[in-house]
C-alpha cells in the first residue's frame, strides 16, 4: 500500500456516513501509505433537486469533483445515484459509522480482491471488525445479476 489511494465518503453532520438523499458533504480521503488525510470536501444535497434530469446534473457535478477518485462510500446508495456511480466505473460501498471505522478495510478489499467489491451495497459495518450482509438487498437484484452471469 505504498501508492496513494483515494476514497470518497458521504458524511452527515455528526461525521458519520449518512443516506445519499439527506444533507451532507462528500469528503475525499487519501491514504499516503501511513495515514488517512482529508484532501477535499464539498457540501451536497439532493433534497432540493427534482426529477431525473436534476439528479443526473448533480451527479455530473459530483463526478467532476471526485476527479480520479473511483471509490465511493455512503450509508445508503440507491436508485439513480447508485446506478450513475456504477455506470461511471465507481466501486460503491455501503458502510455505517465513522470513516475511521472502515477506510482501512475498504482500501484493503479494493487492493486485494480479484474482483472489486461485487455486492458493495449489501455490506454494512455494525461493530469493530464486523460486517453484515443485507440479504434483502442482495435478493432484490438477483435477476439482474443472473442475466449478467454473476455467481450468487
pTM of the entire predicted model: 0.72
Per the structure block, which three cell numbers stand in for 4? 496513494
Instruction: Give the Cβ contact number of residue 32 at 10 Å.
Output: 13
Q: How many CA atoms lie within 13 A of 69 on its CB side?
A: 24
Per the structure block, which three cell numbers stand in for 48? 432540493
Tell me: the pLDDT tens digits for 23-64? Answer: 899 999 999 888 999 999 999 988 888 888 888 899 999 999
SS3 labels along 6-41: EEEEEECCCCCECECCCEEEEEEEEECCCCEEEEEE
What is the domain class of 5-147 according to CATH? alpha beta
Amino acid at each position: 500500500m505504498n501508492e496513494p489511494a483515494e476514497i470518497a465518503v458521504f458524511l452527515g453532520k455528526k461525521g458519520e456516513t449518512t443516506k445519499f438523499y439527506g444533507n451532507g458533504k462528500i469528503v475525499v480521503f487519501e491514504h499516503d501509505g501511513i495515514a488517512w488525510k482529508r484532501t477535499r470536501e464539498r457540501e451536497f444535497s439532493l433534497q432540493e433537486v427534482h426529477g431525473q434530469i436534476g439528479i443526473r446534473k448533480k451527479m455530473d457535478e459530483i463526478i467532476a469533483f471526485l476527479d480520479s477518485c473511483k471509490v465511493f462510500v455512503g450509508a445508503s446508495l440507491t436508485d439513480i445515484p447508485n446506478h450513475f456511480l456504477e455506470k461511471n466505473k465507481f466501486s460503491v460501498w455501503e458502510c455505517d459509522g465513522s470513516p475511521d471505522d472502515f477506510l482501512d478495510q475498504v482500501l484493503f478489499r479494493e487492493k486485494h480482491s480479484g474482483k472489486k467489491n461485487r455486492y458493495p451495497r449489501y455490506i454494512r459495518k455494525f461493530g469493530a471488525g464486523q460486517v453484515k450482509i443485507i440479504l434483502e438487498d442482495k435478493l432484490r437484484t438477483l435477476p439482474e445479476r443472473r442475466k449478467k452471469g454473476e455467481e450468487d
